[in-house]
Structure 1
Amino acid sequence: MRRDDYAAAAIEDLYLLHEIWHAAHMPFIPGIGFEAFHGKMERNELEASVASELLVYFKIDGLRESAFPHPIYADRFLNDPAMRLLWRENEVVATNTLLEARRNVMYSKPEGTWT
């Protein structure tokens, strides 16, 4: 699933992080019903998105500047002094806050357009 046409190496790395997250956090559950499978898939996409589109910028100084020259979704949190403080004081609560914010965006879009 390699893609070699990204504008910056950092973007390719973020794509690979997203896909690796999927693989690492997608357990096989024999006999799972459709509703449980659907929920598992939604959670996996949410967590992979937050890891590769938000958390990584908080964890790696300078990555945001080397990835995209234009504004991105993460900027609203990265540029928020209260969120930066929350991240420094309590990463767990900050992560849960980011998960909730991203989840709300995912579920506000028509089905099948979550990227």
Structure 2
Amino acid sequence: MTSTPGTPGSLDPQIAARLKRGPDGLVPAIAQQYDTGEVLMLGWMDDEALHRTLTTGRCTYWSRSRQEYWVKGDTSGHFQYVKSVALDCDADTVLVKVDQVGAACHTGARTCFDADVLPLAQP
């Protein structure tokens, strides 16, 4: 399923016209657990990945390192079932609320954001 990000896909033209993509044709996509609000991970989507996510009910991302589409869970068994998809106010970020089965992080952790918490300066 190798392709090039930003290539025309089947995304609704009205949605595609609103998206503000980076120079690489991608938008960040934040995956959040739908019922708890837990932030799980950040992936990247182009028009085709967003189209696939909206139409299949499973999160599809563009791998910048492998240069191909990937569906969360196809190799790991840690699926993301889509509950809702929203654009932020600038239409440059996608929020995908999912029902995460298993770990979201490639390290095996539930979330990508719990292992390296940075210290805050005390006022």
Fold shared per TM-score above 0.5: no
Instruction: Give TM-score scaled by structure 2 length.
Output: 0.26
**Between Structure 1 and Structure 2, which shows a larger proportion of helix residues?**
1
TM-score normalised over the length of structure 1: 0.27
